[in-house]
Amino acid sequence: MSYLDELNDIQRQAVEHISGPAMIIAGPGSGKTRVLTYRIAHLMELDIDPFNILALTFTNKAAKEMTKRIEKIAGNDARNLFIGTFHSVFARLLRNDGDKLGYPSNFSIYDTQDSRNLIKTIVKEMGVGTDLYKPNMVHNRISNAKNMLLTPMAYIQHPDLRIADEMSGRPKTGEIYLEYNKRCFRSGAMDFDDLLFQMYQLLVKFPEVLGRYQKQFQFVMVDEFQDTNVAQYAIVKKLAEQHRNISVVGDDAQSIYAFRGATIENILNFQNDYKELKVFKLEQNYRSTKSIVDVANQLIKKNTNQLDKTIWTENPKGDAIKVFCTDSDNDEAKKVVDSIFEETLRYHYQYSDIAILYRTNAQSRAMEDALRIKNIPYKIYSGTSFYDRKEVKDMLAYLKLVVNHKDEVALERIINYPTRGIGKTTWQKCVLLTKQYDTTLWEILSDIDRPEYKLKKRVQKAITDFVTMIKSFASLLDKKNAYEVAADLAKASGMLPKLYDDKTVEGVSRYDNFQALLNSIKEFVESDEVGTLGADAEDKSLGSYLQQVMLITNQDKIQGDNTISMMTVHTAKGLEYPLVYVVGMEEDLFPSKMARSSRDALEEERRLFYVAVTRAEKKLRLSFAYRRFKFGEYITCHPSSFLADLPAQHLEIVGKIRKPQSAYARSNKTTTSNHNLKPIQKEKNIPFSNDPNFHPDDVSKITVGEKVRHQRFGTGTVLDIEGAGKDKIATIAFSETGQKRILLKFAKLQIISNG
């Protein structure tokens, strides 16, 4: 069977449409990854050189999965495709041509923490106060400016931005941006936003480079187009300008990253830039039940700013969407965890089948406490990243400095770690020398014994030994792979012995993390997985490893362990689970208080809830609390107005709806009377019995009519048995908890008597 035969009609049309611009509007669960993958494979089947195909994604995981799928259809040539995240692809291109902008080919990439540390240093030097100019706030301001393609001078001269900064009491933000850019450039470093900003500058300032890439990339494809920002779309438009074979895949209803600079206008107004655009709507959902799809459709229809489409499915109706009304956040957590316990016991869901989603990370605490009480394993995503741990960042700083001696952020971090007698006073004196002699810190350190520097002999020797060590490892970069360099440097730097000698509980944990980092480098070197970006897949150098680590996305960290997955809705985008709990469905939480500022903000919050709803395959559970503990006291909460957007016929209310105080009731006054939306009594939560006389019996030959006892559900009568062998399912009417269907091979039942 041809790979094309696996597609439905509209999917196949989208795959086979090759020439000219195309927009594939892909609803949740509609097979967009398959369409994008098969479209690339189809190009290769038509003898298009893979070197001429560029596909941009938002996660490395998506890029790797696409490459593997394409390889199954088109063979090993798939390894020559340019598939990767915007940042990884542009980093690759900037390695080749960044020298035209004055950057070294081995430039460092600063992560968010590196950037904020540098901003903190600049703010201190300027003496304007870190309390007012908080590094995270200034960094966000600079990041937004770069995503809008504003240079520091353009930012300083922009009247609206200047007024906004003055009104916020931070008029020096533009000057900090200017100095920050100078420091990054001097260090031979780019931050995440520079990988976009500088890529655009390269294409604009050097027409010959633009022409070369336009000639190479004859077919340009963009995944998750609704998440692109101004800079990303501007670059893509330039690259596709010559051949106009640009295809974008996305869903405006899942545009949820405005706070990162993403603009929904890119997808809404795409047709204005390409009048000959061909539009394909993938509206069939293969993921979720009909109830979930209907609820999602009804929800998103409330938005006015959207592309016209209606998602549908041939899947079964499935369970109703349960809404848990709870007294407090702790009560909510208990109800959710009790429900999880029940679902795993009765329906045999694995923990890995289940996700708990929330609007803010702060909501995880109560859920964690309740899960621990039940001994249910869980994992929180988007917490502290492994690569943000101190011992890991320290070692990465050593590796970055070996690759790029100009990296002043890395240099400051480890010049005196482990302690080698180069204190803050010496460091500050060296910084002053860079200004006095208009040179870099590395140049100062490399010639530290100059008499005019007036440093003590002991300090001179410590610095000289440090510089010699870094240079000696740099000389090995072309002779050894990443792991060999890192393993030797771990010992020579003194980091490995220092961590090994610390036998405290925290010390052992830090040592384990350090070993895990070295193991990850070894895995990188030994891995033969399909890579991306053509020849880079075979590059096992230290520079290649550092680039890969610095460009890891949140979703790349999500593993398939048998644990409950806990994360914000933003983090969950692109994922799917059989059973999903969305907690904290309250006004000013979801939607957030910030959403009141404008219709656009409220519509983005509704799109975020739409994303949460459509993560669910089989079952969806929503919950809210009437009280939540904040700022040291309980505050009164009201059910989210979004709940009023949901069709009542698909909901099952568990618990008591309070009226008329409820914002839910006020915003949807006719719901109860018109739709008969009444609270449905939750079955009693019977705890496990500790009866010492309970002993499970062999139930393989159990018959209809027998009376049985279950540790949790109580006493009941077998009404029906279906299936055979290990797949037998018994329907049992329990007097305390109602009728249950139980898979007998997992059941622990005590037979009381025959009926």
List the catalytic residue out of 198, 218, 254, 548: 254
Span 256-297, pLDDT tens digits? 888 888 888 999 989 899 999 999 999 999 999 999 999 999
Average pLDDT over residues 419-439: 91
Q: Is the per-residue pLDDT at 689 higher than 70? A: no
Q: Are 653 and 644 in contact (CB under 8 A)?
A: no
Residue 753: how many CB atoms within 10 A of its CB? 8
Span 508-547, pLDDT tens digits? 888 888 998 898 898 888 876 544 444 355 678 898 889 8
Average pLDDT over residues 346-369: 91
**Residue 99 designated active-site:** no
Average pLDDT over residues 733-747: 75
**Residue 283 designated active-site:** no
Q: Give 659's pLDDT tier (boundaries 50, 70, 90).
A: low
CA–CA distance, 671 with 658 (Å, rounded to integer): 13
**Residue 33 designated active-site:** yes
List the catalytic residue out of 97, 114, 179, 223: 223
Strand partners, 380: 566
Q: Are 114 and 409 in contact (CB under 8 A)?
A: yes
pTM: 0.78
CA 416 from centroid of its chain's CA atoms: 34
Q: Is the per-residue pLDDT at 685 higher than 50? A: no
Span 583-597, pLDDT tens digits? 999 999 999 988 877
CA–CA distance, 605 with 59 (Å, rounded to integer): 23
Closest listed residue to residue 347, CA positions, set 650, 578, 654, 680: 578
Tell which wins on pLDDT, 349 or 673.
349
**Residue 298 designated active-site:** no
List the catalytic residue out of 11, 32, 165, 353: 32
Average pLDDT over residues 232-252: 94
CA 273 from centroid of its chain's CA atoms: 30
Q: Share the mean pLDDT of the chain.
A: 87
Q: Are 517 and 495 in contact (CB under 8 A)?
A: no
User: What's the confidence (pLDDT) of residue 678?
Assistant: 39
Q: Give 705's pLDDT tier (boundaries 50, 70, 90).
A: confident
With pLDDT > 90 as the criterion, what percentage of the chain qualifies? 58
Strand partners, 379: 565
CA–CA distance, 371 with 160 (Å, rounded to integer): 49
Span 195-236, pLDDT tens digits? 999 999 999 999 999 999 999 999 999 999 999 999 999 999
One-character DSSP codes across 262-321: B-THHHHTHHHH-TT-EEEEE-B-SSS-HHHHHHHHHHHTT-SSS-----B--S-----E
User: What's the confidence (pLDDT) of residue 631?
Assistant: 63
Q: Specify the 3-state DSSP secondary structure of 392.
A: helix
Phi then psi dihedrals of residue 90, to 5 deg: -70, -30
List the catalytic residue out of 13, 33, 112, 440: 33
User: What's the confidence (pLDDT) of residue 547?
Assistant: 86
Average pLDDT over residues 687-711: 74
List the catalytic residue out of 334, 393, 400, 615: 615
Task: Give the CA dihedral 614, 619, 625, 626, nearest 10 degrees.
Answer: 90
**Residue 254 designated active-site:** yes
Closest listed residue to residue 12, CA positions, set 369, 282, 367: 282
Q: Is the per-residue pLDDT at 679 higher than 60? A: no
Q: Give 674's pLDDT tier (boundaries 50, 70, 90).
A: very low
List the catalytic residue out of 111, 114, 191, 224: 224
Q: Are 44 and 77 in contact (CB under 8 A)?
A: yes
Q: Which amino acid is at 2?
A: S
User: What's the confidence (pLDDT) of residue 559?
Assistant: 60
Q: 633: burial class by Cβ within 10 Å (0-12, 13-18, 19+)?
A: exposed
Q: Specify the 3-state DSSP secondary structure of 242.
A: coil
User: What's the confidence (pLDDT) of residue 382?
Assistant: 65
CA–CA distance, 461 with 448 (Å, rounded to integer): 9
Lowest mean pLDDT among 28-42, 374-388, 400-414: 374-388
Q: Give 87's pLDDT tier (boundaries 50, 70, 90).
A: very high
Span 175-184, pLDDT tens digits? 999 999 999 9
Average pLDDT over residues 419-434: 92
The kind and range of the H/E element at 92 are: helix 86-97
Which residues have C-beta within 8 Å of that of residue 273, sequence separation ≥ 6? 237
Lowest mean pLDDT among 68-77, 147-156, 482-491, 613-622: 68-77
**Residue 615 designated active-site:** yes
Q: Is the per-residue pLDDT at 397 higher than 90? A: yes
Average pLDDT over residues 87-114: 93
Span 131-162, pLDDT tens digits? 889 999 999 999 999 999 999 999 999 999 99
Span 456-469, pLDDT tens digits? 999 999 999 999 99
Q: Is the per-residue pLDDT at 752 higher than 50? A: yes
Q: Give 729's pLDDT tier (boundaries 50, 70, 90).
A: confident
CA–CA distance, 666 with 508 (Å, rounded to integer): 55
